[in-house]
A and B are shown apart, each in its own frame.
Chain A
Amino acid sequence: MKRLSLGLGAFVLLFAGTAHAQYGMAGCGLGAMAFGNDQDTLKQVIAAIINPTAGQTFAITSGTSNCVSRGVIRAEREQAAFAEVNFQDIKGNMAAGGGEYLASLATLLGCEDSAKPVFARMTQDKLEILVPSPSTTPIQMLVGVKQQIKASPALAASCTDARAIARAEGKPMTLAKR
């Protein structure tokens, strides 16, 4: 997988993010909330979110404001933020072939409930590709997961950005089935 690079824009965002720190949540440093202030993870998330090499359609939207606004994660950053904060739990669920974290990740990725077992099975089968090295980042993992979804006809049909967007807009998942 192509390694994510950290652009100048990321630094701009980084500082914009910390300047707009709302309610003790500095920028995207969600991990910071749980694990103390860790600027590296902050950089990582922001870099990945705006980096076009990630090949994401839904996750990439241009924007200069930080991803946490008044405690709420901006919709287009939600997948990244979730992967960032719950990285260990998600990896554990992938290896075990299922679990609550993996199910919620699937929801954020716009998967139908019926597709979740297939999705979980896929992450267990492809674990060595999704987590290629000990230093794999949450965003790299996320990008890998999306590529695997695309590569699998069954998952590509039932895990769609349209559903993810509908969910982010607060619509019930069932309405977004079309």
Chain B
Amino acid sequence: MNDCLSRRFRAERRDVLFFGPLLFCLIVGLCASPASAEQSYLHELQTRARTRGLARTRLWQVLLHYHRTLCGGWRSSADGPGFFLAGSVGEIDPEAELMATVAAFAAPATPATPDDEAGQHAQCRFPARWSWLKQELAIDTARLPEQPCPLFSGWCQAIAPEKVALVFSSAYINSPASMYGHTFLRLTRRTGEDNRLIDYIVNFAAEEDTKSGLVYAWKGLFGGFAGHFYVMPYYMKIQEYSNIESRDLWEYELALGQAQAERLVAHTWETRSTHFNYYFATENCSYFLLELLEVADPELRLSDRFHGTVVPVETLRAVLAVPGLVKARTVRPSLRAQILNRKSHMMGSEIKTAEALSKRGREAQGLIADWSRERQARIIDAAYDLLRFREGLTKEPSPEFLRKERELLILRGRTGVPPLDNDAKPASDAPETGHRSLRLGLAGGMMGGGHAVFEELSLRVALHDFLDPSRGYLDDAELEMIQLRIRFENAARRVFPERLDLINILSVSGYDRWIPKTAWAIRVGGAQAHNLACAGVRCSYGGVNMGGGISFRLGHPFLFFLLADADLAGGAPFSDHWRIGLGGFAGAVLRLGHFSQTAAEGRDIYYFLGDRRRAPVISVGQGFNLGPWGQIRLVGDAVGSYREARAELLGYF
């Protein structure tokens, strides 16, 4: 309500401010004075802007990031004051901001020092607004002079935007928290499509000013970080994501023309005067890119589709859902994918030879001396990538690395063989082919010796488990945030929370001798201690599990994992109300095409403190995919002597 009140109040005040001088001017008759010729042209422009209703046009709204408030007013998502020429009123009053902008554009030139960005003329700080208003109001630059803007022109000229592509960075292997992905925009430079590396990108990111994890989480959740648009060469992001973090980059070329790309860049410049409060879950990197795309093409309605959490892949889907907006898709497989692909084309002896070359450099060249040049080149390429992946992607590569690196390069150069194709595949199908993030479910089942019947409602905010349709997701990680299952027991007429996962991560990147990774797991949440002969809310407990271990593949569809596991739990059902134990956690996953996933898991913990009763857990599940939108799932669980079986119908939204 405050918004509405303050808006009305300010609107009235603005009217007084605006009409007051006009009235005064009319009465006193000063308007005829030549000194105010500029002033009268300004008033003419302001009146024109007002009568044409420019403040209500979509472009003005997207340029200022205005959104409707709950009570019908406007509020900008920009949070820094420098963005509003009308002062703080500008944040909630599009028309006041428009009037102030026109006035600021008409202000006399100020002598600004070359690098003083904030001291520049408003036309130079807000080039997208200027360019639009100049056209909409048919501004006569003889009466309202156009200011030279060397800082902006030089900047924009270097970026030389021609087209725009949305880039989606897939998950970071072995780091399921990155499973949400990340998005940024690539601005095709006028150097041609073959030089994507030297294109510029626009990335929205938070200025992270803390090293404390807790402060970080707090600020991230409640908007404590200031977010900015950052411009940098694409090759920087490729080094970071593709090479160091092993993430595939998916590029979606957008049907935006040069004028639109230029407005996008000009507006990015405008945001340098402000910041946007950064919220991990809602107003995040992906969300603000949508607002930027709306500036490029105001007809797009992208940001309004998101009212709650914004998952990067969902923003990609929103973009793909606009007919004709995405013209083409390409993928840039990570360095890791390229290495694994090279290895997959090699025989056992060749793999060993490549390892020897990457370990010993030139000393091992005798191993390939008799081979054909083409084969030598293939092995050395693999050895070089492996060496680099293991030792080279660090801040300061060791002298040992540099020596071996040069030796391998010289060996490769001497073969004289031209570049060999590397048809590396990304680690997953395109992200948009995956199931949606939000999952809702209905289930029915039987439990205990008496075959008591129950029904369940389930909700999961995000994102993926091993039984979900595997397409479009990394196949070696689970990441679940906020999963709740509510159960109703028919006979006992009892409703209670069956399970709550605040967070559940299982990362089991298959062990590869070239890229060895450890497996790890963490779960924070609550469940029912059915095995302790209790039921209902009184049977609930909460706890934390953490584990580490190894995983490996047998062919592509089979994945096995074995982890040591620590368990800490507290709740009414336990004697002493708590238990601590150590044990093991093992599982297997089998995927058959895009149709079926099967998983089995077992966990046995030896509890040595608190309630020491053993409760080995076995869970077997089978998911049949109906498509990316739904699944039928059968699950059997055993905890100690307790048994249950259920059938679930799941939908992804």
Contact between A23 and B384, CB atoms less than 8 A apart: no
With the chains together, A170 CA to B236 CA distance in Å?
20
Contact of B239 among A78, A85, A92 (CB under 8 A): A85
> Which 6 pairs between the two chains have the least Cβ-Cβ distance?
A71-B231, A170-B160, A134-B402, A127-B413, A95-B412, A95-B409
Q: Does A177 contact B (CB under 8 A)?
A: no
Q: Which stretch, A4-12, A55-63, A99-107, touches the partner chain B?
A: A99-107
Could you list some 11 contacts between A and B, CB below 8 A? A30-B233, A30-B236, A65-B115, A82-B233, A85-B235, A88-B388, A92-B388, A100-B197, A125-B413, A134-B403, A167-B191
Give bound CA distance, A170 to B188, whole Å: 11
In the assembled complex, A146 has its CB within 8 A of some CB on chain B: no
Contact check, B235 vs A23: say whether CB atoms are below 8 A apart: no
Dominant SS at the B interface?
Answer: helix
Does A133 interact with chain B (Cβ within 8 Å)?
yes
> Looking across the interface, which residue of chain B has its beta carbon closest to that of A25?
B232
Identity of the chain A residue whose Cβ is nearest the Cβ of B408 in the assembled complex: A95
Contact of B396 among A38, A92, A94 (CB under 8 A): A38
- Is A96 a contact partner of B420 (Cβ separation < 8 A)? yes
Q: Smallest distance from the beta carbon of A158 to chain B beta carbons, Å?
A: 16
Minimum CB–CB distance for A45 against chain B, Å: 14
Contact A72 B236 (CB under 8 A): no
Instruction: Tell me, yes or no, whether B72 is within 8 Å of chain A by CB.
Output: no
Interface residues on A, range: 35 or more
Tell whether, in the assembled complex, residue A70 and residue B155 are in contact, meaning their CB atoms are under 8 Å apart. yes
Do B197 and A101 touch (CB < 8 A)?
yes
| Cα distance A65–B410 in the bound complex, in angstroms | 38
**Is A71 within 8 A of B405, CB to CB?**
no
Additional A-B contact list (19), CB under 8 Å, known A69-B154, A97-B419 = A34-B239, A35-B394, A65-B115, A71-B230, A73-B158, A86-B197, A86-B235, A88-B405, A92-B384, A95-B412, A96-B381, A96-B417, A98-B419, A108-B198, A113-B192, A134-B402, A135-B402, A168-B158, A172-B191
Q: Which residues of A contact B200 (CB under 8 A)?
A: 71-72
In the complex with contacts A94-B413, A127-B409, A69-B191 CB distance below 8 A: no
From 257 to 274 in chain B, residues with beta carbon under 8 angstroms from any chain A beta carbon are 269, 272
Let me know if B195 and A38 touch, CB within 8 A.
no
* Closest chain A CB from B261 CB (angstroms): 12
Identify which of residues 33-56 in chain A touch chain B, using a CB-to-CB cut-off of 8 Å: 33-36, 38, 40
Q: A146 vs B195: C-alpha distance in the bound complex, in angstroms?
A: 20
B189, B228, B233: which has the most chain A beta carbons within 10 Å?
B233
Chain B residues closer than 8 Å to A65, beta-carbon distance? 115
Is A92 within 8 A of B232, CB to CB?
no
Residue positions of B touching A, CB distance < 8 A: 115, 154-155, 157-160, 189-192, 194-198, 200, 207, 228, 230-233, 235-236, 239-240, 243-244, 269, 272, 377, 381, 384-385, 388, 392-396, 399, 402-403, 405-406, 408-410, 412-413, 416-420
Complex partner residue of A34 from B198, B240, B413, CB under 8 angstroms: B240
User: Which A residues lie within 8 Å of B395 (CB)?
Assistant: 35-36, 38
Determine the distance from Cα of A81 to Cα of B232 in the docked complex, in whole angstroms.
Answer: 12
Considering the complex, give the chain B residue whose CB is closest to the CB of A116. B194
| Residues on B with beta carbons closer than 8 Å to the beta carbon of A85 | 233, 235-236, 239
Neighbouring A residues of B233 by C-beta, 8 Å: 30, 73, 81-82, 85
Smallest Cβ distance from B156 to chain A, in angstroms?
8
- Main secondary structure on chain A at its contact with chain B? helix
- B197 contacts which chain A residues (CB < 8 A)? 82, 86, 100-101, 104
Distance (Å) between the CB of B60 and the closest chain A CB?
A: 25
Q: Contact at A124–B416, with CB atoms within 8 Å?
A: yes
Compute how far the CA of A23 lies from the CA of B203 in the bound complex, rounded to whole angstroms. 11
Choice from B189, B413, B419 contacting A99 with Cβ under 8 Å: B419
A95 to B407, CA, bound (A): 11
Q: Which residues of B contact A70 (CB under 8 A)?
A: 155, 231, 269, 272
Least CB distance, B410 to chain A, in whole angstroms: 6
Q: Give Cα A69–Cα B418 distance, bound, in whole angstroms.
A: 38
Question: A34 with B412: in contact, given A96-B419, A134-B403 (CB under 8 Å)?
Answer: no
Contact B190 A24 (CB under 8 A): no
Q: Which residues of chain B are near A169, meaning CB under 8 Å?
A: 157
Interface positions of A from 122 to 150, Cβ below 8 Å from B: 124-125, 127-128, 131, 133-136
Residues on the A chain within 8 Å of B191, using CB: 107, 167, 172-173
CB distance from A127 to the nearest CB of B (A): 4
Q: How far is the CA of A168 from the CA of B158 in the complex (A)?
A: 6
Contacts of A36 in B (CB 8 A): 395
Contact partners of A71 in chain B: CB under 8 A: 200, 230-232
A91 CA to B413 CA, complexed, in Å: 10
Q: Which residues of A contact B189 (CB under 8 A)?
A: 170
Residues of A within 8 A of B416 (CB): 97, 124
Instruction: Give the distance in Å from the alpha carbon of A88 to the alpha carbon of B405 in the complex.
Output: 9
Asked whether, in the complex, the Cβ of B155 is within 8 Å of the Cβ of A72, the reply is yes
Q: Which residue of B lies closest to A35 (CB)?
A: B395
Please tell me if the beta carbons of B236 and A127 are within 8 angstroms of each other in the complex.
Answer: no
Complex CA–CA separation, A172 to B188 (angstroms): 12
In the complex, the chain B residue whose C-beta lies closest to that of A168 is B158
Q: What distance in Å separates the Cβ of B158 from its nearest Cβ neighbour in chain A?
A: 5
Q: Which of A36, A127, A134, A167 has the most CB of B within 10 A?
A: A134
B405 contacts which of A75, A86, A134 (Cβ < 8 Å)? A134
Q: How far is the CB of A111 from chain B (nearest CB, A)?
A: 11
CB contacts (< 8 Å) of A99 on chain B: these are: 419
Please report the C-alpha to C-alpha distance between residue A51 and residue B545 in the assembled complex, in whole angstroms: 58
A103/B194 contact (C-beta < 8 A), A71-B231, A170-B160 known: yes
Q: Which of B377, B392, B410, B412 contacts A88 (CB 8 A)?
A: B392
**Shortest Cβ distance from residue A130 to the other chain B in the assembled complex, whole angstroms:** 10
Per a CB cutoff under 8 Å, which of A82, A91, A172 touches B409?
A: A91
Q: Which residues of A contact B410 (CB under 8 A)?
A: 95, 127-128, 131
Residues of the A chain whose Cβ atoms lie less than 8 Å from the Cβ of B239: 34, 85-86
Q: How many Å from the CB of B339 to the closest CB on chain A? A: 12
Contact B158 A95 (CB under 8 A): no
Inside 8 A of B195's CB, which chain A residues have their CB?
103-104, 107
- Minimum CB–CB distance from B361 to chain A (whole Å) comes to 10
Are A97 and B406 interface neighbours, CB within 8 A?
A: no
By a CB distance below 8 angstroms, the chain B residues around A135 are 399, 402
Selected contact of B190 from candidates A91, A127, A171, CB within 8 Å = A171
Q: Are A104 and B198 in contact (CB under 8 A)?
A: yes
What A residues does B115 contact at CB under 8 A?
A: 65
Choose among A72, A93, A136 the residue with the greatest number of B CB atoms under 10 Å from its CB: A72
Cα separation A169 to B157 with both chains bound (whole Å):
6
List the B side residues contacting A81 at CB < 8 Å.
233
| Complex CA distance for A8 and B420, rounded to whole angstroms | 45
Assembly CA distance A113 to B263 (angstroms) = 30
